Chains A and B, each alone.
Chain A
Amino acid sequence: MHLIQLRRPLQRAAVSGCQQLTPLVRTSSFTERFAKLRLDVASGNAAVEGRRYASVKAQGAYRLTNKKTIPKKLGAKKTGDQYVIPGNIIYKQRGTIWHAGENTIIGRDHTIHAAVAGYVKYYRDPQRHPKRQYIGVVFDKADRLPYPVGAPRKRKVGLVAGPRKEIAPVEPTAIGPSGIPLMVTRHQQTQVSETPSTVTATATSVEVTEPAGETPRTFKDGNSVIAALMEEKLRARKLYDAKRRELRAKREEELRERQGTRVFRLQDNYAYRETNWEIGRLVGDAGVVQGTENTSSRKRKFRNRRRRRNTVYSTIKQNALEKVERRDEYRKFVVAKRLQRAAHEAEIKAKMAKGEKVAMDGKTKKTDGKAKDKKVKA
């Protein structure tokens, strides 16, 4: 083979030299002509460029590993029926060439680990999946996987009994056992805004509106009464609005403060991180942010309203009944009193009449009659 390879450029050179003997452009010197016939191997190779390469690697290229990449060392680490303990790596792979079967765990990089101590089994389970191949671990070497359908699972306890120890409750500390703080609070520069001024403005407006309500009014006719009522209503509304505005401003202020203050807590992996709920609260409170208005259900709202209404109505009714009762009582009392008084007067009159009959003349009889009339009127 080598021979042929060597020979080929020679032939090529010879052929090209012969062709050059009858060119259009005549080469002048003899030496130049012979220069064409020279056995130049390198130039001959260039002529046959791209024809054939070595199909067998030379210089131990088969034995030497590629030094530019790190070997991934994939593949089976345990064979079938080999004993494994929990955590042993059974198979390393890219993607799921093998799936995790009985008593095995698949890792983040699809490595298959043993979950129990036992014997490795490589198997297929057409009931679970027609095409997948699984790796499982069984407790008994003689067992075959997959287990028959409907048979109880084989599970080992894998526990050791010991005396029970009481664990003292851990007290919360600022610094963790590793000596670094559990929580870091970072204050960002809070946004400077005109909200304080608006707050004061609302406050002044409240102050302005309040004394206006106390001015005495003269009620002359129905219109003025209605006007007064309307004004009162408007005033109340204004007050209410101002109060709400103030509240909202306060809430905004709080929110801004919250957005400026970030609390980072120590995680298990020694990284500081904000909690998810705190991140969520950065946007605002429930009800402030759109989409979070309905904190409670509609039915619940109705239920509350109904309850409130029922209590209010029941009190009103009770009050009314009590009032009626009181009035009745009073009326009875008044009637009784009146009757008593009348009786008393009649008694006195009777007594007086008796005394007068003895002493007085006809004149007194007239007055007596008048008194009787009066009594009747009363």
Chain B
Amino acid sequence: MSRPQQVARPIVRSLQQSRSITVCPSRSIAARQFSTTANRKDEGTTVEQQPRASATQRLSDTLSGSHWTPEQLEKLTSHTMGSRRRRAAIATSSDIPFEQMPYQCFQEARKILNEDRQEKIAQIVAETEKIKHLEAADASTMRGGEPYKQKRLESLRKYVEELKILADINDPLVKRRFEDGMGDMNKPIYRYLADRKWRSMDYKITVQRINQFHIVPDVLPKFDPTMDVKLSFRGQPIAPGATLNSRVTEVAPTLKMQVFDAGTRLLSVVVLDADVPDLESDFFTRRCHYLATNIPWDPTKKQLPLRQIGTPTSQTGGDLAVPWLPPFAQKGSPYHRLAVFVLEHNANEKIDVTKLTERYDGSGRELFSLKGLRDKFKLKVAGFSIFRTEWDENTAAVMERHGILGADVEFKQQHFKSLKGPRKARGWEAKRQKPKYRSLWKYTKRLA
């Protein structure tokens, strides 16, 4: 991601330009002329009419959703910063928006792209007309009947969505806004770009983690993630699969989630430990560490702090079914895989939390089955992330603080007796232990 200053430079430039024009309008036009001045003069006049406060307001409006503090904003809008050359350039160049920059090739390219966009828009209009027409038509007159009509409608809608994306994909401003993270996720183009970006790297990493940590046969028989889930503990983003200190994981993480299809849906979040050693049966079992449900989610939402769910001050909504149990691994046990699953509800139906709580809280945490949960409540597994935990210097304290037993236990490798029988001692010394070699006993017995 680019730095804030770099990002805001064009905006700042335009703002500063507006100010400089108000100060010395004659100079600014004379100094640097790119092209025909007629339309630019108009711009100058329009800018002159605008007061500076409104410009600043405009900037702060555009940047309001971002992470800049008021001081930083102030700095960005100040006109005395930067090198002399930069200030001079800002003072003398005109207030041209990016898309009107007078580079010939650029403008030609924009013309071509704009033409294409107009074509696409016309197509969209035509297709929507078609959809309307089809919706109004009687299904009984069609040869395939109602199913054919529905299928046709679906494919038409899909095509319209595709066209919407194609209409905007060549817009540099859309690209810029997406790169700055200011894209409106309600629009299909930004969702498409986000999906493409996710699939270019993060999705691949997630799939790799699913395979290399054997999540797929162990927890689920089959799984392909469709949404982006990133973990962060105590504000620190975590690489998927990282081994974390138990002090870090003592509090529930924040999920950074992004869905790529339109509409609001309900989500459930499950955190489970897939490697709980069970010495009685000598097999590994699973334990539920966290379960929250009925979380409303749409593409515009970004962050889900798990520790806030269920509290009265929660901003995201949702119900807490099983509170956070800090992950722990007893000493000597191999690393525990803590898998975070995000499940999508079927047809936005709410799940009764009390049912979940009585089923999975308390002793129900042990022997947890994600497959069972998924099948019982008709959920669809959509997102995944993972971290690992091992015994470390803080685990004992964490277990004590949360009243978890078993910190005083250490696991050791099971010893197997050799399949071969005991063997007689061999060698020169062993042979000469007999009374026959009494004279040599001083060499063969009680060797230091």
Chain A residues whose C-beta falls within 8 Å of the C-beta of B216 in the assembled complex: 150
Within 8 A of B (CB), among A154-174: 154-165
Tell me which of B234-242, B262-270, B340-348, B411-419 binds A.
B411-419
Give chain B nearest CB distance to A330 CB in angstroms: 24
Query: In whole angstroms, how far apart are the Cα atoms of A303 and B1 in the complex?
Result: 13
Is B214 a contact partner of A153 (Cβ separation < 8 A)?
A: yes
- CA gap between A306 and B5 in the complex, in Å: 9
Complex CA distance for A139 and B256, rounded to whole angstroms: 41
Q: A16 interface residue, CB < 8 Å from B?
A: no
Contacts of A85 in B (CB 8 A): 416-419
Produce 1/0 per residue, A303-335, CB < 8 A to B. Answer: 100100110011001000000000000000000
Question: A159 touching B283 by the CB < 8 A rule?
Answer: no
Is the CB–CB distance between B409 and A150 below 8 Å? no
B282 pairs with A117, CB closer than 8 A: no
- Which chain B residues lie closer than 8 Å to A83 at the CB level? 419
Contact: B419 with A153, CB < 8 Å? no
B410 with A117: CB separation less than 8 A? no
Chain B: interface secondary structure? Answer: loop
**Across the two chains, which residue of chain A brings its CB closest to B418?**
A85
- Cβ of A66 to closest chain B Cβ, rounded Å: 27
On whether the beta carbons of B411 and A159 are closer than 8 Å, the reply is yes
Q: How many residues on B have C-beta within 8 angstroms of the other chain's C-beta atoms?
A: 36
Contact B81 A156 (CB under 8 A): no
Contact present for A160 and B283 (CB under 8 Å): no
Q: Which of A238-257 contact B (CB under 8 A)?
A: none
B418 surroundings in chain A (CB, below 8 A): 85
Q: How far is the CA of A151 from the CA of B371 in the complex (A)?
A: 12
Most buried by B among A117, A161, A306: A161
Q: How far is the CA of A316 from the CA of B221 in the complex (A)?
A: 66
From B3, B282, B409, B410, give the contact of A158 (CB < 8 A): B282
Residues of A within 8 A of B (CB-CB), count: 31
B331 within 8 A of A: yes
Given A88-B419, A117-B416, A150-B222 in contact, is the A161-B279 Cβ separation under 8 Å?
A: yes
Cross-chain contact B410 with A153 (CB below 8 angstroms): no
Q: Is A176 an interface residue (CB 8 A)?
A: no
Q: Does A152 contact B (CB under 8 A)?
A: yes
Q: Please report the C-alpha to C-alpha distance between residue A313 and residue B278 in the assembled complex, in whole angstroms.
A: 65
Contact of A317 among B80, B277, B279, B332 (CB under 8 A): B80
Which residues from A are CB-within-8-Å of B219?
152
Closest to B220 in A: A150
Given A150-B217, A150-B221, residue A159 in contact with residue B333 (CB < 8 A): yes
Separation of A224 and B221 alpha carbons in the complex (Å): 87
Least CB distance from A221 to B in Å reads: 28
Residue of A at shortest CB range from B3?
A303
Q: Are A156 and B282 in contact, CB atoms less than 8 angstroms apart?
A: yes
B217 and A164 contacting across the interface, CB-CB below 8 Å: no
Which chain A residues border B217 with CB–CB below 8 Å?
149-153
Most buried by B among A117, A159, A163, A299: A159
- For the complex, give the distance between the alpha carbons of A291 and B282 in Å: 54
Contact pick for A162, options B3, B283, B407, B410, CB 8 Å = B410
Q: A86 on the interface (CB 8 Å rule)?
A: yes
- Pick the contact of A160: B82, B331, B408, B414 (CB < 8 A): B414
Q: Which of B57-91 contact A (CB under 8 A)?
A: 75, 80-83
Q: Is B284 an interface residue, CB under 8 A from the partner?
A: yes
Determine the distance from Cα of A92 to Cα of B283 in the docked complex, in whole angstroms: 30
In whole Å, how far is B296's beta carbon from the nearest beta carbon of chain A?
32
A160→B419 contact, CB < 8 A: no
Q: Is B413 in contact with A159, judged by CB distance below 8 angstroms? A: yes
Known: A152-B218, A153-B218, A303-B3. A313 touches B411 (CB 8 A): no
Docked Cα-Cα span, A313 to B216, in Å, equals 57
A246 to chain B, nearest CB (A): 32
Q: Among residues 198 to 246 in chain B, which have CB atoms less than 8 Å away from a CB atom of chain A?
A: 214, 216-219, 221-222
Q: CA separation between A282 and B419, bound complex, in Å?
A: 52
Interchain CB contact (< 8 A) of A157 among B5, B221, B279, B408:
B279
In chain B between 148 and 168, which residues have their CB closer than 8 angstroms to a CB of chain A?
none
Contact A313/B416 with A155-B284, A162-B410, A163-B408 known, Cβ cut-off 8 Å: no
A164-B408 contact given A157-B282, A159-B332, CB 8 Å threshold:
yes
B410–A165 touching, CB < 8 Å: yes
User: Complex: how many Å from CA A3 to CA B335?
Assistant: 80
A39-98: which residues lie under 8 A (CB-CB) from chain B? 83-86, 88
B81 touches A313 (CB 8 A): yes
Interfacial chain A residues near B407, Cβ < 8 Å:
164
Contact with A along B176-207 (1 / 0, CB 8 A): 00000000000000000000000000000000
A275-315 interface bits toward B, Cβ cutoff 8 Å, 1 = contact, 0 = none: 00000000000000000000000010001001001100110
Which of chain A's residues has its CB closest to B5's CB? A306
- The CA-CA distance from A314 to B80 in the complex, in Å, is 9
Pairs A–B under 8 Å by Cβ, sample size 30: A83-B419, A84-B419, A85-B417, A85-B418, A86-B416, A88-B419, A150-B216, A151-B217, A152-B217, A157-B277, A157-B278, A157-B282, A157-B284, A159-B277, A159-B332, A159-B411, A160-B411, A160-B414, A160-B415, A162-B411, A162-B412, A163-B410, A164-B410, A303-B3, A306-B5, A309-B83, A310-B81, A313-B80, A313-B82, A317-B80
Question: Interface of B with A (CB < 8 Å)?
Answer: 3, 5, 75, 80-83, 214, 216-219, 221-222, 277-279, 282-284, 331-333, 407-419
- Nearest 10 pairs of A and B residues by beta carbon: A150-B221, A164-B410, A85-B416, A159-B411, A157-B277, A158-B414, A152-B218, A161-B409, A156-B282, A160-B412
12 additional contacts, CB 8 Å, given A157-B278, A159-B277, A160-B415? Answer: A152-B219, A159-B414, A160-B279, A161-B279, A161-B410, A163-B409, A164-B331, A164-B409, A309-B82, A309-B83, A310-B81, A314-B81
